[in-house]
C-alpha cells in the first residue's frame, strides 16, 4: 500500500528528546497509582527521588501529577456480595454506631452549644474515625480558625 490517506499538513512537531524522561516518569507514576495503595504525596516523592534535576523543566506541574494519580486510584465501593468492603464497614462496632447517632442528635442542640457538644462527642470516638469527624466538622460545625477560639463558617 503506497498511498497516503491524508496529505501532509503544515502542522508538524519536531522530536523532543528532552520530554522522554518526563513521559517515562509520568507513566511510572500512573502505573504505581494503579497498583499500590499509597498516598499521593508519597507516590510523587518516591518517583521524583530518581528523576534527574537537569530534566526538571520538562516535568508537569505538581497539581497535574496529583490529579493524574487521583484519577488512577481505584475506589473500592462494593465487594463481590454487593456489600461494603470490611475496611469501610464500621457499622459492626456498637460504640461507633452509638457515637454516630450522637452526631445526628446535634441537630437538636441549641446553636450556641453545638461546638461544646461536638467536642464532647469527638472525644468518645476511636482514632480510626478521624476522617469522618474531620468531614463532619468541616461541613456542619465549621473548622476551628488557626488563631483564637472562633470557627470558620460551615458549608451548610
Q: Which residue has the cell 500512573?
A: 30
Cβ atoms 30, 72 nearer than 8 A: yes
| Segments making up each domain of the chain, as ranges | 19-72, 86-156
pLDDT in tens, 73-114: 766 566 666 665 565 555 567 888 888 899 899 999 998 888
In tens, the pLDDT along 29-47 reads 888 888 887 888 888 888 8
Residue 97's CB: how many other CB atoms inside 10 A?
A: 12
Amino acid at each position: 500500500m503506497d498511498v497516503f490517506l491524508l496529505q501532509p499538513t503544515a502542522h508538524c512537531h519536531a522530536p523532543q528528546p528532552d520530554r522522554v524522561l518526563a513521559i517515562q516518569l509520568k507513566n511510572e507514576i500512573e502505573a504505581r497509582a494503579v497498583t499500590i495503595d499509597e498516598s499521593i504525596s508519597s507516590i510523587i516523592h518516591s518517583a521524583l527521588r530518581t528523576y534527574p534535576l537537569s530534566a526538571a523543566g520538562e516535568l508537569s506541574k505538581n497539581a497535574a501529577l496529583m490529579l493524574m494519580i487521583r484519577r488512577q486510584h481505584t475506589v473500592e465501593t462494593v465487594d463481590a456480595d454487593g456489600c461494603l468492603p470490611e475496611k469501610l464497614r464500621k457499622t459492626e462496632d456498637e460504640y461507633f454506631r452509638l457515637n454516630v447517632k450522637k452526631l445526628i442528635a446535634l441537630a437538636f442542640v441549641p446553636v450556641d452549644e453545638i461546638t461544646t457538644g461536638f467536642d464532647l462527642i469527638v472525644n468518645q470516638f476511636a482514632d480510626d474515625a478521624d476522617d469522618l469527624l474531620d468531614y463532619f466538622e468541616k461541613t456542619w460545625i465549621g473548622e476551628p480558625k488557626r488563631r483564637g477560639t472562633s470557627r470558620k463558617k460551615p458549608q451548610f
